Amino acid sequence: MTDERHPFDAAVALEPIGPGRWRGRTHPAYANMVGPFGGITAAVLLQAVLQDAARQGEPVALTVNYAGPLADGGFEIAAEAVRTNRSTQHWTLRLEQDGAVAATASAVLATRRETWSAVEAGFPTAPPAAALERAPTAGRPPWTRAYDMRFVKGAPRLAASPPPDADSLSLMWVRDEPPRALDFAALTALADSFFPRVFVRRASWVPIGTVSFSVYFHADSATLRANGAAPLLAQARAHQFRNGYFDQAGELWSERGELLAVTHQIVYFKE
């Protein structure tokens, strides 16, 4: 039997096993060096909220804390709506495997109204995606092949020889591969698709692991639908690397210059 779903849809599929409880399974297309790509874990956690019949509103904030390794195979998610207000809803989540907590998460949903709006961040200057070459994925973990990345600046250097850049800024066009219409779950995974800043800054590979990851959603579902499968312009930088941890701040823009989401994470690195 062939699975005709897009690999992303297969990877975030959840089976209900009780009120607020879901069973999922890691997917080989999103495998990382050890366990799954963190972005797909964040996406499946958000998916547990989005699929819940009690869900009210659209995502505004998501935080995922990666507490321990997740092995290839099945896992369970518990999702609880701890408070529902008139226009906001607060969720807490836990992802377990074999009785151990592998991740915790929280999500805030909101029903939005049209208000005065303004964007202050600048839409980055970049040549069109079609004018750039797709970044190579050979020798890289499987999840990198689930994305089409085209770097304007700050590709990971890993085995490169030139002296370290003064900064770790990366700017890339990125979309699901094969192409897939954008939605909140896919945008969440894309927000974690930046290579670790330490791979950009330094010429050597070091073990890393995100410990906490957040996405603030500025776009509503209509804006995401309008994007379709077009690539996003994604930018990330670090403020500091210090004693085993670095932070990363990122922005995800539509081709038309809409700031869809901002994202932050703090990442362990070993030296």
Peptide bond into 178 cis (omega under 30): yes
Choosing from 6, 25, 90, 180, the residue that interacts with its own copies (CB under 8 A) is 90
Collapsed DSSP state (helix, strand, coil) of residue 138: coil
CA pseudo-torsion sign 60, 97, 195, 5: negative
User: Given the complex with its own copies, which of 126 and 261 has the nearer CB atom?
Assistant: 261
| 67 scored as a contact of its own copies (CB under 8 A) | yes
To its own copies, the closest distance from the beta carbon of 91 in angstroms equals 9
CA distance 238 to 189: 19
Question: Which residue stretch of 12-20, 28-36, 44-52, 110-118 sits at the interface with its own copies (rule: CB under 8 A)?
Answer: 110-118
| 65 scored as a contact of its own copies (CB under 8 A) | yes
User: Given the complex with its own copies, which of 76 and 148 has the nearer CB atom?
Assistant: 76
What is each CA distance from 150 to 58, 127, 133, 265, in whole angstroms?
30, 10, 6, 22
| 158 scored as a contact of its own copies (CB under 8 A) | no
CA distance 51 to 79: 11
- Other residues' Cβ atoms within 10 Å of the Cβ of residue 211: 14
**Site pattern 126..145 for its own copies (x: CB under 8 A):** --------------------
Look-up of token digits 């999840």: 143
Choosing from 1, 4, 115, 138, the residue that interacts with its own copies (CB under 8 A) is 115
CA distance 43 to 33: 18
- Other residues' Cβ atoms within 10 Å of the Cβ of residue 56: 15
Interface ranges with its own copies (CB under 8 A): 60-61, 63, 65, 67-68, 82-83, 85, 88, 90, 92, 94, 100-101, 104, 106, 108, 110, 112-121, 166-168, 201-202, 211-212, 214, 216, 218, 220, 237-245, 247, 249, 251, 259, 262, 264, 266, 268-271
